[in-house]
Structure 1
Amino acid sequence: MVWSSVYAAGTDYGTDSELIQQVEREKNQAHWSGLPIWGEQVREMGYELPIPVGFGIYMNTQDVEYVATDDFHVNAVGGLLGGLGHSPLSQCKRTPGMDCSQQYSIPAEDVRITGQDKSIQLRLDAWVFPFLNVYGLAGYTKGSKEILADLSNAKMGDTAFPIPATLPLNLEYEAYNLGLGSVLATQFDVAKGINPIILTVAGAVTNSWTTTTDSTILTKIAAVRVGQRYDVPYGKLALLVGYQYQSIEQNITGSLSDLGVLANELQFDVDLKSKHTSNMSLAAVYDFGYQKEWNLMAEYSFLNWNQLIVSMGYRF
């Protein structure tokens, strides 16, 4: 998740500090990009704005539970699940009129899915307005899915699987993604002597294409964060608490071989989504440098899934 905030410039340096005032004026002069729109008017009101254009590197790791959104279909050759039709499962499911009765169907509620993803993202962003940031990102993900399918209620047509067993599938994949997002940001002065309250509302959509399974991943994220920003040595530190929304949808199709007594070869097809969509987070952002052009960020998400994001960025 990419986000930032509007900065207040309400520090009083005293009328006798001409040098400091000159430095502040130079730091807040118009940017080469002409952004943000209405930036000059906002600076005249006494607000300090971040450098409008920046890029960053984000590293993310998360553990997520999933649920199947339809029955889990398998087509096997050999083993206890063998003897099924040999037509490719994807063709069988998507070809009108083709007989799919030879495949086993496992009820969605009998399928347990957990996953872990580690990714690195490159992001380019710009403050179009003082209150609106837009960004694009591109990245690489290495992930895994562990699927445990209970065969107790699996059926091939009207015929149930003859013995109790669990079908384990351990899938590893790599993916490349593209995404777009935006951030709305503002701040509120609550009382004299108290730092302003920062409020950000962010949202993004990414689509990933995997290289080792026939799969795409659609991720939708949103977050509301609130906190304050403090003067610290060599820069500014923002501390925020947030509420997150995350929805992950994925269709997984592919094949595996050598599954022991269950099958010599197995084709599978399942649609899944993240089990939980709401989470809480704690974040810290440290801006430093002559013009606060560098920044470090760390965010930990907890409650319904564990997620850690760390990043480093530069504005120019």
Structure 2
Amino acid sequence: MTACSSSTPYEERVEIRQSIDDESEQLIEELAEVYPEIYAQLEEAEGYATGVMSNIKVPLVGGGTGIGAVYSNVDDSITYIDLYRYDVGAGLGLSSYRMISILDTPENLEKFSKGFSEQSWGTDWNISVSGIEADKVYYLEDSEIPTYLVFESSASAVGSARLMSVSVNEELTETGMGNAKFANHESATDKSSPQWDRPLPFFAQDVVDKGFSLPLPFGISILYAETKQDMTISGLEAGFSGINNGATQAVEFMSFDNNYSHSKTPQLKLDAWIFPFMNVFATVGKVNGMAHVEFASDGSVANGVAENSLPCNPILPGQKPAEFCEALRDATGWNEALDVDLDGWNYTIGATFAAGWQDYFLAIPVSVTYIDMKNARAEELVINVSPRIGKQIPLKDTSSVDVYVGVSYLDSTLTIYGEHYGNLPDDKHITYKIEQENIDKWMGLVGASYNFNRSWAIQAEYGQNGSDKRQFVSSLTHRF
């Protein structure tokens, strides 16, 4: 009856299922001695659910676990289930009981077959004068679902709020659902016949038949990413206001130093397994950060404008006086440090190619991100490929820990538009276009994920390349 382990080998599942079925039959026989009408009730119902629960309660909190099965009279199918109970309230208790619920409507049969959570308030009083009452049998005829209980307790005096949860035991029911985040090859045995009943991924049944288990097909995540990296100037264009409408042209006589970008990005991510080994995703997020640019000019921009672009004849009307041209020719340049606010939105599309073998996995996410920062007059394009290899470490029930290492290739191009107002005559200014590119494309990374169950997980990842590039990513994911 210990089928709530995180991963039950195929060879053991037949034995566990048989023990649950035997326990269910024995329970019906015992109840029939007190309630002979139970046979007719079970035959007329849509189906019935059985279970064995163990509970413990200390003064403030308590809980229990169990296992059982749902037997359908409609199609003769069997769905094996895990049972959980959580208590908050006063009391002490240590108890166990067996139960059978009459699923007299199609809705109740579907409810137990798909799983559910239900809140309630109640009391348990199971202390007799002699100290213990054992094997107490109850028929809860007035409850929403008629239920028989065979109660066994060492002692129990509890008044608490309860949360009862029923979930499908995917392994025992053999749905093809696994605990891993990726398609995981578990066994090549032909003794099992899982049946995948979800719309995605395509060709799921084919790989399930080959011994792979699959994750839940859809996901929604909240992510937070922070990245700091050194940048280099890959292109600079500049122009002078009032000439050619301020159009920019390439500038070569410019020096740069100490350029970097630092961004923080909360994001919302949606994903789906389209094929068993291919997940597609899209994210949208808010970017907050800054780009630091330091550059110096020796005056060649202004000198070139004076020599080639300005009409400097003081005699003809409408042309600039000679002293204006002389001022440009004598310009000594400038030193400038810019901190550009990178506030905007980022949009990402990508795909992850992944597979696992006996809890080891290989994953290769590939993505393209466009960052639009209209208020900052900047935009960025990021291409990212991050292969990683790791292992899933099973824990209790369906919880587990994933640990992995990998590398990340990130190509980032940041384009900044702006104006420079310096010691230029007649309130003129320099317009510019700066293209920054990250210096270090590669970095190593390590990460870990704690999977509460098949549906919920938290993850953290850290990447670094020396002191020039650092990245931290965390996420909370719900799969369904």
Task: Return the TM-score normalized by structure 1.
Answer: 0.77
Q: Secondary structure at the match of 1:276?
A: coil
Query: Over residues 140-173 of structure 1, what are the superposed CA-to-partner deviations in whole Å (9 max), with x where a residue is unaligned?
Result: 101201111123475432758526x521111113
Name whichever structure is richer in strand by fraction. 1
Q: Is the 8 A contact 2:380 2:415 kept in 1?
A: yes
1:37 paired to 2:202: yes
**Aligned counterpart, 1:62:** 227
- The 1-side partners of 2:353 and 2:330 are apart by 54
8 Å Cα contact 2:359-2:393 kept in structure 1: no
Residue identity matched to 1:53: F
1:302 match? 464
The DSSP-based 3-state class of the residue aligned with 1:16 is helix
Give 2:404's aligned residue. 240
2:393 maps to what in 1? 230
**1:117-141: per-residue Cα shift (whole Å, max 9, x none)?**
0001111111111111011111110
Q: 2:285 aligns with which of 120, 132, 139?
A: 139
Contact 2:348 2:369 in 1 (8 A): yes
- Structure 2 gap segments, 5+ residues each: 1-6, 21-66, 68-78, 81-168, 178-194, 308-328
Q: Distance in 1 between matches of 2:338 and 2:234?
A: 17
Q: Relative to structure 1, is the Cα distance of residues 11 and 298 closer, same or farther in structure 2, using a 3 angstrom cutoff?
A: farther
Q: 2:188 is matched with which residue? A: none
2-structure distance, mates of 1:107, 1:120: 39
Contact kept? 2:255, 2:295, Cα under 8 Å? no
**Helix, strand or coil at the partner of 1:50:** coil
TM-aligned CA distance change 1:138 to 1:180, over 3 Å: same
- 1:181 matched to 2:347? The reply is no
Rate the CA distance shift 1:287–1:12 in 2: closer, same or farther, 3 A: farther
Map 1:148-187 onto structure 2 (within 5 A).
148-152=294-298, 155-156=301-302, 157=304, 161-162=331-332, 166-187=335-356
Q: CA RMSD in A?
A: 3.0
Q: Look up the SS of the partner of 1:247 in the other structure.
A: strand
Query: 1:151–1:251: structure 2 CA closer, same or farther, 3 Å change rule?
Result: same
CA contact (8 A) 2:368 2:383 kept: yes
In structure 2, relative to structure 1, the CA distance for the partners of 1:272 and 1:107 (3 Å cut) is farther
Going from structure 1 to structure 2, the CA distance change for 1:62 and 1:253 (only over 3 Å counts) comes to: same
User: Retained in 2: the 8 A contact 1:106–1:153?
Assistant: no
* Contact in 1 for aligned 2:254/2:296 (Cα 8 Å): no
Contact 1:151-1:161 at 8 Å conserved across structures: no
What residue in structure 1 maps to residue 215 of structure 2? Answer: 50
The residue number in structure 1 matching 2:413 is 249
Cα deviations by residue, 1:72-121 (Å, 9 ceiling, x for unpaired): 5365xxxxxxxxx44587x412xxxxxx7xxx946455354211000011
SS in structure 1 at match of 2:15: coil
Matched residue of 1:71: which SS? strand
Query: Equivalent residue for 2:15?
Result: 16
Classify 1:72/1:149 alpha carbon distance in 2 versus 1 (closer, same or farther; 3 Å). Answer: farther
TM-score with structure 2 setting the length: 0.52
C-alpha separation in 2, matches of 1:45 and 1:201: 23
Cα deviations by residue, 1:224-266 (Å, 9 ceiling, x for unpaired): 1011111124511111101101011122102466x7x789866
Q: Percent identity?
A: 20
SS of residue in 2 equivalent to 1:43: helix
Query: In 1, distance between residues paired with 2:235 and 2:463?
Result: 29
- Paired letter, 1:275: I
Residues 37 and 274 (structure 1 numbering): CA distance in 2 closer, same or farther, change over 3 Å?
same
Cα 1:283–1:236, aligned 2, differ >3 Å: closer, same or farther?
same
- Identify which of structures 1 and 2 has the higher relative contact order when contacts are C-alpha pairs closer than 8 Å and 6+ apart: 1
Q: 2:256 aligns with which of 110, 116, 125?
A: 110
Q: Structure 1 residues 92, 256: closer, same or farther in 2, change over 3 A?
A: closer
Write the distance in 1 (CA, Å) between the matches of 2:475 and 2:339: 30
* Rg (Cα) greater in structure: 2
Q: Report the CA distance between 1:268 and its aligned residue.
A: 2.9
Q: How does 1:261-272 map to 2 (within 5 A)?
A: 267-272=431-436
SS, match of residue 343 in structure 2: strand
- Judging by fraction of residues, say which structure has more helix: 2
- Say whether residues 1:123 and 2:269 are aligned partners: yes
